[in-house]
Every structure is written in structure tokens, then in C-alpha cells.
Amino acid sequence: MPTTNFPRLVSDIGGTNARFAIEVSAYNFVKVTTLKCRDYPTLAQAITHYLQSSGYPQVKHAALAVPSPIVDDTLFMVNSPWHQSSMSKTKTDAGLDSLIFLNDFHALALSIPHIPTENLVKIGGQEADHSKPICIIGPGTGLGMATLLKHPLSEEYFAIPAEGGRSSFAAASEEEFELWKFVHNRFSHVSVERLLSGPGLQLIYEALCTKQNPPIEKMLDPSEITHLGITNQCFICKQTLDHFCRILGTTASNLACITSSFGGVYIGGGIIPQILDYFIKSDFHARFVDKGRYRTYLAKMPIYVIAHDYPAMLGSSYALDTYLNKHYIP
């Protein structure tokens, strides 16, 4: 990193929480703090409060990863109280000289070359070919996807964010077709995000409860479903996780086929790292390679789970450095 514009602000904004950090040198983060989005009327107010309370009010350069497509000046964060925030107004109101926004999976994609190997868990495939495309998929509040490409003549990387979570869910078994019918009775379009997300865990759980007809005293939170499932305390919760892992295997496989990701298939988001041991033993990989004549092709693709505390900040830092030095966002 040639820039000297330190300290600077990086952040990973979610629907519920916003994580902020001060980068004092390349990929060296201090004052990592999580704020509740609902506690601040605007994103700019949250930024200002954080900079003042962290003791770095002089910071003038920032990069924010947000759960929104970056199309024009308006952020489309449907699950956030800061929905439809203006990017230019946020920069002005926060008193910043430079402020860039990235889709959260754009930032996650850019983080891949900078994640230490000890923060990656390999669960299949051969060694990665770093000259080949990389794809990233991750369920959390929603379902994110992106692709990462390396420049053939340099060490620079370029990310291609996507809204792949909006793609249509296709059942791969009779049980999944029953799930599709349950969801379709409620929503006109059954996207993969409807099932591969925190709310998706709840939807799968509800569908299984309805089918098997046990009494539901209350809907469980996604964290309750995962905990009861991985500890074998709830049979339907375990079934829910099994369906979730299989559907993620098929969806990740579809993305890997589209992108020919022999540079690696990386799984991020907030859910899988919390159930990592269960996930490794699940049918995820069996579903990932279940593409008929292309089974051998897919079996060669390296697959990793990202086990880093704040990978999007690494990607945001790389993007901000490129922007400040080369005046574009990779």
C-alpha cells in the first residue's frame, strides 16, 4: 500500500449493526466498535459519533461496505433504518474529504487475497489456481454473491458484485419442491435468498413444522435454530440445517459453474462460520459436485470457508487505497 492517508475509517454496515474501525496502517485496525443502526437517525450521525468517541475526529477518508447495490447516489438498504440514504449527503454531513461505498460482497471479494491462510478453512477440491476466477457466496441477513478476477499482468484485483440472491430457487429433490410450494404460497417469486439467509432458516423450519404438524408455540430465531440443530436438541432444527446446507451446495455449484472458479469458491456471511463443524460434515459438498457429467470438473474446485472476524474491512481498505492512489474503485 503506497498511500500515507492514515488514519482512515473502514466499516461493514449491516441491516441491524454497523461495525466501524480505524485503520492506522495497512490492514491494521484499531478501535473496532459495533453500533446499533437504529440508535442513529442517519448514517452520517453514526460515522460522526464513532469518529469522535474513538478519538479520531481528524479522519477524512473512509470506505463503507453496505448491503446495497451501488447504482446511483441512493443506497438501497432494504433491511436498514438507513434505507435510501444519499451517498453524497452522507459524505458532506460526516465532514469527509473522500468516501467510497461498496456492496458488502464487493468488499468481501476484494478481501480474499488479503485474508491470512489461518483464517481460511478448506473443505474440498485441489489447490487454487490464482490466475483463475474466484467466486464468493455467503448467507447472512440476506444472500450475497460476487466474483473476483486477477489482472493477468499485475497483482491488481477487480471485483464484480452481483445480486445473485435474487435468482430463482430451483428444487433438486421432492422435499425441496415441497419447500418451494410452501414459500410460493406466500411470495410470488421464490428466490434463493428466501431460503439461504437468516429469515430463510426460519422459513424452512416453519415449512417443516407445518408438514410434520408438531405444535409451534413460537417461531425460533435463526440463532436458536442453528444452536438446537447442531447440538441435536431439536430434530426439525437439524432437518432445517440439513436442507439449508444442501441448497447452499447446489447454489454455490451453480455460481461456480457460471464463473469457472478454479481460483476458489469462498463461503462467507454470518451463518456458516457459526456452524462450521456441522457444515463440514453436511451434504454441502455432495450437492456441490452433483452436476452429472460435470462431477469431476466441480470436484477439482477448491472450496474455503472464511473464518476471519472482519474480512469486508480488508476489502474496503484495498478499495480505498486504490481509489486514493489510482482514482478508481477496483
Spans of all domains in the chain: 8-109+311-326, 117-307
Long-range pairs for 153-158: beta carbons < 8 A, 24 or more residues apart: 156/322, 156/330, 157/110, 157/112, 157/113, 157/318, 157/330, 158/330
Predicted local confidence at residue 179, as pLDDT: 96
Q: pLDDT at position 81, please?
A: 86
Cβ atoms 219, 201 nearer than 8 A: no
pLDDT in tens, the chain (330 residues): 455 689 999 999 987 889 999 999 999 999 999 999 999 999 999 999 999 999 999 999 999 999 888 888 888 887 788 988 899 999 999 999 999 999 999 999 999 999 999 999 999 999 999 999 999 999 998 899 999 999 988 889 999 999 999 999 999 999 999 999 999 999 999 999 999 999 999 999 999 998 776 667 788 999 999 999 999 999 999 999 999 999 999 999 999 999 999 999 999 999 999 999 999 999 999 999 999 999 999 999 999 999 999 999 999 999 999 999 999 999
Please give the backbone phi and psi of residue 25, each rounded to the nearest 5 degrees, phi first: -160, 175
Equal fold, 8-109+311-326 vs 117-307: no
Specify the pLDDT at position 213: 67
Query: pTM value?
Result: 0.93
Q: What is the pLDDT of residue 71?
A: 84
The DSSP string of 122-191 is EEESS---TTS-EEEEEESSSEEEEEEEE-TTSS-EEEEEE-GGGSBP--SSHHHHHHHHHHHTT-SS-B
pLDDT at 15: 78
User: Kind and range of the H or E element at 8?
Assistant: strand 8-13
Q: Where are the alpha helices (DSSP H) in the chain?
A: 43-54, 87-93, 104-111, 174-184, 198-212, 222-230, 235-259, 276-281, 284-288, 295-299, 311-326
CATH T-level fold of 117-307: Hexokinase; domain 1 (3.40.367)
Look at residues 228, 284, 205 and name the one whose alpha carbon lies nearest to residue 251: 284
- CATH number of 8-109+311-326, picked from 3.90.420.10, 3.30.420.40, 3.40.50.300, 3.40.1130.10: 3.30.420.40
